[in-house]
Amino acid sequence: MNRILEDVIHKNAATVERITSENTAGYVVADNTANAVAETSFDNTGAQAIVKHLHGVLVSSCQSVIRDLDPTNKLCFLRVATRKFEYLVAPEDYFTITVVQ
Amino acid sequence: MNRILEDVIHKNAATVERITSENTAGYVVADNTANAVAETSFDNTGAQAIVKHLHGVLVSSCQSVIRDLDPTNKLCFLRVATRKFEYLVAPEDYFTITVVQ
């Protein structure tokens, strides 16, 4: 896990605590360069699945779709409502955060 | 354009009118079986691009990601926030609606 990500996670620990205490199924923070789980409230298998599928497949295909439609545009946030959960995905430069609620 | 879709569009014309009159850049309704534009407020090129990229690539990859994470789950609604617009995508059985705002 890289240094920047460690700092960010440490700085926002209190906020994460507050948000996850209400109505949240869990969260995953993943490192973009290594495509690895950095911090999560899920078990390893569940977190790995989210990183692989949501971050690996969905976010990158979404970014290229947005760029195809308008090359000057950029993906900011992705909200996927499903029958059971809602996935909130925030792709940043160094890390990607997914919250499941 | 199939019969069901024509009926749906006709029935909801008033609602569409009301919603699009405020803060909306445009909308596209696409037929899922033919993957063709059924009704839109964009020009043909823009609408075709949205159908091809958003409906063709993004919605189907999103559906398979959701199914991969949990086989009993189903995609209901997709919200893609970009720097310029927000794409709201509602995939239904016979048609897919995208609103750009």
Model ipTM value: 0.80
pLDDT at B46 over 90: no
Q: Closest Cα partner for A50 from B5, B86, B70?
A: B70
Which one of B51, B77, B78, B98 makes the best mutation probe of the A interface by having the most chain A beta carbons within 10 Å?
Answer: B78
State the pLDDT at residue B21. 80
Query: Is the Cβ pair A79, B78 closer than 8 Å?
Result: yes
Domains of chain B: residue spans and CATH: 3-100 (3.30.450.30)
Nearest residue in chain B measured CA to CA from A68: B53
**pLDDT mean over A34-44:** 85
- Closest-CA residue in chain A for B89? A80
Cα dihedral A58→A40→A46→B61 (10° resolution): -10
Q: CB–CB of B73 and A85 under 8 A?
A: yes
Residue A27 is given by DSSP the state: E
Cβ distance A77 to A67 under 8 Å?
Answer: no
pLDDT at position B28 is: 87
pLDDT level of residue B1 (50, 70, 90 thresholds) = low
Q: Which of B86, A59, B51, A20 is nearest to A51 (CA)?
A: A59
Q: Which residues in chain A have Cβ-Cβ distances shorter than 8 Å to B78?
A: 78-81
Write down the pLDDT at residue A13: 83
Per residue in A63-92, pLDDT (tens digit) is 999 998 899 999 999 999 999 989 999 998
Q: Which residues of A touch B53 (CB under 8 A)?
A: 65, 68-69
| Residues of A contacting chain B (CB within 8 angstroms) | 49-50, 53-54, 57-58, 61-62, 65-66, 68-70, 72-85
Q: Count of CB contacts below 8 A, A vs B?
A: 77
Tell me: the pLDDT tens digits for A1-33? 577 778 877 888 888 888 778 778 888 888 888
| pLDDT at site A76 | 92
Q: How far apart are alpha carbons A46 and A28 in whole angstroms? A: 9
Distances (CA, A) of A58 to A3, A91, A99, B60, B65: 26, 11, 15, 10, 7
What is the DSSP annotation of B15-45?
HHHHHHTTT--EEEEEETTTTEEEEESS-HH
Average pLDDT of the residues of chain B: 86
Hey, are the CB atoms on A73 and B83 less than 8 Å from each other? yes
What CA–CA distance (Å, rounded) separates A52 from B65?
Answer: 9
Q: What is the pLDDT of residue B9?
A: 79
